[in-house]
Amino acid sequence: MSDFFNWDNKFMTAMSKASDAILLGILWIACCLPIVTVGASSAAFYYSYHKAVRQRRGYAWKEFFSAFKSNFKSAIIIWLIILGLYLVTGMDCYILYTSLETMDHALFLLLMIMIVIALITIWGIYVFPYLARFENTTKVIIKNSIAVMVMNKSWSLLLLVIFVAAAALFLLVPPAAIFVPAFYMWVDNKILERIFRKYMRKEDLEKQIELDRAKSGMI
């Protein structure tokens, strides 16, 4: 019985990780409310989940706000770019739609717009975790995250499907909203870390492998 309440046993470790992940999800939601801070909040969520939950280093909430502050400027710029791309796409869609003459043209336009929106969304899925995991200038982060997205087309499509499913569940099932961000980050982090490792420097990759081995009981 004493082993059950031992914080080092697997069950208690898993419960601790789950509670930290849910806490981070709640912080993410709260810090997304101003809208303009969605990017900074998303980067902070990814960073703090990876460090405090996956690797069990530091306190979840402290890591979240530390990452939120350190990535704030770059994240704001990138998020405004994404919002701008969505806005321009929407405006172009409206202008083109009003000039269409046939239903066939309308369907083709709808398909093109959906593809553009999907590409912008996929880039958003990559860029904030990339910002959280790699130190560089905003320009290089934008360029590299796009390159990683393009070079991993199959994973990119899967990440989009997971994101859309999680977003639908979050919006359509309010009681599940408290758990969805944590579960989404669990899946998202596993996939993206697998991708990112292909582009890490040798010394960084070796350090990452050592941390993973030391925390073999991770979620």
- CA distances (Å), 12 to each of 18, 28, 83, 123, 187, in order? 10, 24, 41, 36, 21
pLDDT, position 101: 66
Tell me the domain boundaries of the chain. Answer: 16-214
CB atoms within 10 A of CB 105: 13
Q: Give, for all 219 residues of the chain, the pLDDT tens digit.
A: 455 555 557 788 888 999 999 999 999 999 999 999 999 999 999 999 999 999 888 899 999 999 999 999 999 999 999 999 999 999 988 887 777 666 667 778 888 999 999 999 999 999 999 999 999 999 999 999 999 999 999 999 999 999 999 999 999 999 999 999 999 999 999 999 999 999 887 776 766 666 555 554 443
Q: Which residue type sits at 45?
A: F
Nearest to 86 by CA among 126, 117, 115: 117
Q: What's the rounded Cα separation, in Å, for the pair 208 and 188?
A: 17
pLDDT, position 102: 65
Q: Tokens 């995250």 appear where?
A: 145
Cβ 191 vs Cβ 155: under 8 Å: yes
Please count the residues of the chain: 219
- CA distances (Å), 49 to each of 2, 17, 74, 160, 173, in order? 29, 9, 19, 20, 24
Q: pTM for the full model?
A: 0.88
Residue 55 is given by DSSP the state S
pLDDT, position 110: 83
Q: What's the rounded Cα separation, in Å, for the pair 173 and 91?
A: 30
Q: What is the DSSP string of 154-184?
A: HHHHHHHHHHHHHHHHHHH-GGGTTTHHHHH
Cβ 188 vs Cβ 47: under 8 Å: no
Cβ 43 vs Cβ 71: under 8 Å: yes
Q: What's the rounded Cα separation, in Å, for the pair 20 and 14?
A: 10
